[in-house]
Amino acid sequence: MFKKLVFICLVALCTSVGAKEVKDNKFQIVANKVDSENNVITAYGDVVIFSSSYYASAQKVIYNKKDETFEFFDDVLIIKDNQIQTQSDYAFLDNKTNALFQKPTLIFEGDTNLWINSEKSNKKEELVTLEKSILSSCDCEDPDWSIKVSSAEYNSETKWLHTFNTRLYIKDIPILYTPYFGFSTDRTRRTGLLIPTVGYGSDEGFLYSQPIYIAPAPNYDIELIPQYKARRGKGLNTYFRYADSENSILKLSAGMFKEDSDYFLENQLENQNHYGWSIDYERNRLFSKGDSQDGLFVDASWLSDIEYRNLEPISTIDEDNEKKVESKINYFYNSSKYYTGLYFRYYLDTSKESNKDTMQELPQAHFHKYSEPIFLDNLLYSTDVRYTNHYREEGITANRYDINIPISYSLSFFDDYLQLTLKNETVINHLKYDDSNLDYEDGTFIENITSLGLSTDLIKPYENFLHTVNLGADYIDAKTIEDDGDLFSINNNTSELSFFPVSKTKRSLLLSLNQSLYDRDNLKQIVNHKLKQSIIFDEFNDPKLQNMENEIVYNYFLGTLSNKVIYSHLDNTFIENSTSFSLNYNDFTLRLGYYMSKDTPNSGKEDLESYRADMQYKISRDYSIGYYTNYNLEENMRTKQGLRFSINDSCWNLDFKFEKEMEASSSKLYDRKEQDVLYVQFLLKPIGGLQQEYNLRKKER
C-alpha cells in the first residue's frame, strides 16, 4: 500500500512543472528544487528518494556524496523493504552502514498494524534502540490499549521487540507493570511461550497451564504443556509435529497426569496416574509413480482411562464414543486396473479392566480388480478378495476369507432411454476357527447371485429450471452352492460365533427413485429427492415389504433443509428419522438437527432421540453472540449447552464462553460428571493474551 502511494507521489512530482531529478547508481532524488555544491546535494520541497530497499520523502534533504549520508527535515517518511514505515521530524541515514537516527519517531509495522511512537530512535544494522516510547495496534489518537516503556529494542530482522519498565494501559488506566516484556511483531513460527490458561475449579482449586512452543526448523516443532491443578495434581503433555516430505505430516502426542492422594481417594478413581499417547501420520506417494496412487495413514491411540482424555489440553481422540478408542493403520496402492489395501484395527474399551477378550482385526487385506471387458465391450468382470484375521488373546478367533467375482452385461434400448443390466455374482465365504472351548467345524458358504436391472435417466428443461429423474428396478435371486460347517445366522446361532456373521442373499426386488431440480442458469441443485423400497420373498415365495427410505434435500438461497426417514413395514413404524436445517441471513446463522432411532423386533437399532442447535448473531462489526446445545431426549439429559460472546476488534479480542457439559468418568462412585465452566480469552494483537477457565459447579451422576 505504501509502495503504491509513494510511487503515485513520485509520478506526480516528475510530471509537475519545475520538478528536478538527480540519479545515482544506488538511488534517485526527485524534488521541486535541487542545489549542488561540491559533494553535497540539497533538495527542497516535496522531496522523494527511492532505491532498491528504501522509499523516503521529506520537505528538505541534504545528501553527502562522499560519506553517502542523508539528512531529512520536516514530514519525514521512510519505508524499508516495503514493510516498516517510520515517520519523524528529523532523520539521519548512513547509506553505507544502514544506520538510522530519528527524532521523534513513529514506526509502523504493516503486517500487524503495530505502531511505536518514540522520542528518539537509533538504528544500527538490524537493531533499533528506542527511548520513552508508547506502542499499540489500535487507533493512534485514542487507542483502546497501549504499552508505555522507558526504553525498547527492536530487531527488524527477527521482528522481536524487547521493552523495559513496561506499563500496560487500558485507555488511560494503568493495568499491569513488568520490568521486562518481549514479544514477536509478526506471525512467523518461532520458539516462545503461547497463551497460558489460568483458572479455578470448585473441587480442583487454582489451575494453570502454560504451552511452551519450540520451532527449531521450518518442518517440525514441539509443544510442551505443563499443567497444575492445586487440589488435584499436576501433569505434562508433549506434542510433536514433523513434515518429513512435501506429501506427509506426522503428529505425535504423549502425556501423563498424577492425582494427589486426597483427590484420588475422595473421588475413588480407578487410577492415580493417567497416561496416554497418540500417533497420527499421513503420507501420500510413498512408492507410487505416474498415474498410480498410494498412501499410508496411521491413527493410533492408547490411554490408561477416560480421565486422561478429560485432562488432555489438546484432545486428539474422537469424543463421540466416550470410553472406546479405535486405532487404525491403513495402506493402499491404487492403479487404473487394481486396488490393494492392508488395514489394521485395534479397539480399546477403557471401561473394561482388560481388553484381552476384545476382538481385533490384525490385519485385514483387500485386493480388488476393477471392471474390464471380456470377449465383448459390454461384458465386464471384476474380482474382490478380502482376508481378515479376527484376533484376541482370550476367546475364539478366526481367519476369514471373502471372495466376490461379478460378471455383468449391459444393453441400451429405445435410443438410450432404457438400460438393461444382467449380472451374475459368485460369493465365497470361508471361516477357519481357533482357540475355542467348543469344537466348531470350519465353515464354508458359497452362493451364486443373479440379478436383472432396469433403469432410465431422464432430463427435461423448463423455462427456469431443469428436472432430472432416475428410475431403477433390480430383481435379485440367489442359489446356495455349498453350506458346510458352523456358520452364524446360517446354521448356527451360538453367540460365540456372532463376531463372524455370514449373510444369505434372499430373492428380492429393489425399487429406487432419484430426482432433482436444478437452476437452469447456474446449474445449482435446488431439490433432490431419493426413495428406496425393497421387497424380499420368504421361503414360501410370499413378498414382504422391507424398510422404505425417503430422503429429501432442499437448497434455498439462505441455507439447506433436509430430512431422511426410514419406515419399517414389518414393525409398522418409523425406525429412523434425521432432520437438519441451516439458515444464513445477514448477520444471523442458525443450525438445527434432530435424530431418532427406535429399537423394534426387526430394526437392529437402539432407542435414541436427540436434538442439537447452534446459533450465532453478529451484533455489529466487532460484536457477536452465540448459543449451542445438545440434548438427549431418550435419557432426558442435556449433554452440552453453551453461550458465547465475542468482541473481535482490529487490535484486541475478547471471548466469553459459558458451558454446561457432561463428560464420562472413571470414578467408582459415578459414571458421569456434569459441570458448569466459564472460559475467557483476552488477546492484545499482536503481543498475545491470556486464557482463563473457571469451574463454577460440578455434579456427579
The pLDDT assigned to 701 comes to: 64
Cell output for 557: 438461497
- What does 315-362 look like in DSSP terms, one character per residue? --S-STTTTEEEEEEEEEEE-SSEEEEEEEEEEEETTSS--TTS-EEE
Binned at pLDDT 50, 70 and 90, residue 316 comes out as: low
Per cent of the chain over pLDDT 90 is 65
Q: What kind and span of H or E run contains 576?
A: strand 573-585
Bond preceding residue 143 cis, omega within 30 of 0: no
Binned at pLDDT 50, 70 and 90, residue 3 comes out as: very low
Mean pLDDT computed over 435-443? 90
Residues sharing a CB contact under 8 Å with residue 459, sequence separation 6 or more, in sequence order: 466, 467, 468, 469
The pLDDT assigned to 588 comes to: 96
Residue 93 has pLDDT above 80, yes or no: yes
- Please give the Cα distance from 268 to 351 (Å, whole number): 15
Cβ contact 398:487 at 8 Å: no
The pLDDT assigned to 510 comes to: 97
The pLDDT assigned to 315 comes to: 63
pLDDT mean across residues, the chain: 90
Domain ranges for the chain: 28-190
The pLDDT tens digits of the residues spanning 105-154 come to 888 877 788 899 999 999 888 888 999 999 999 988 889 999 999 999 98
- Please give the Cα distance from 103 to 90 (Å, whole number): 5
- Please give the Cα distance from 606 to 596 (Å, whole number): 9
Residue 291 has pLDDT above 70, yes or no: yes
Binned at pLDDT 50, 70 and 90, residue 8 comes out as: very low
Binned at pLDDT 50, 70 and 90, residue 19 comes out as: low
Residues sharing a CB contact under 8 Å with residue 52, sequence separation 6 or more, in sequence order: 26
The pLDDT assigned to 10 comes to: 40
pTM: 0.81
The pLDDT assigned to 23 comes to: 62
The pLDDT tens digits of the residues spanning 187-240 come to 788 888 888 999 998 888 999 999 999 999 999 999 999 999 999 999 999 999
Q: Which residue has better confidence, 376 or 16?
A: 376
Bond preceding residue 363 cis, omega within 30 of 0: yes
The pLDDT assigned to 5 comes to: 41
Cβ contact 556:527 at 8 Å: no
The pLDDT tens digits of the residues spanning 514-537 come to 999 999 999 999 999 999 999 999
**Residue for grid cell 498494524:** 113
First to last CA, the chain: 60
Mean pLDDT computed over 81-99? 82
CATH classification of 28-190, choosing from 1.10.510.10, 2.60.40.350, 3.40.50.620, 2.60.450.10? 2.60.450.10
Binned at pLDDT 50, 70 and 90, residue 11 comes out as: very low
Q: Which residue has better confidence, 439 or 397?
A: 397
Cell output for 505: 442373499
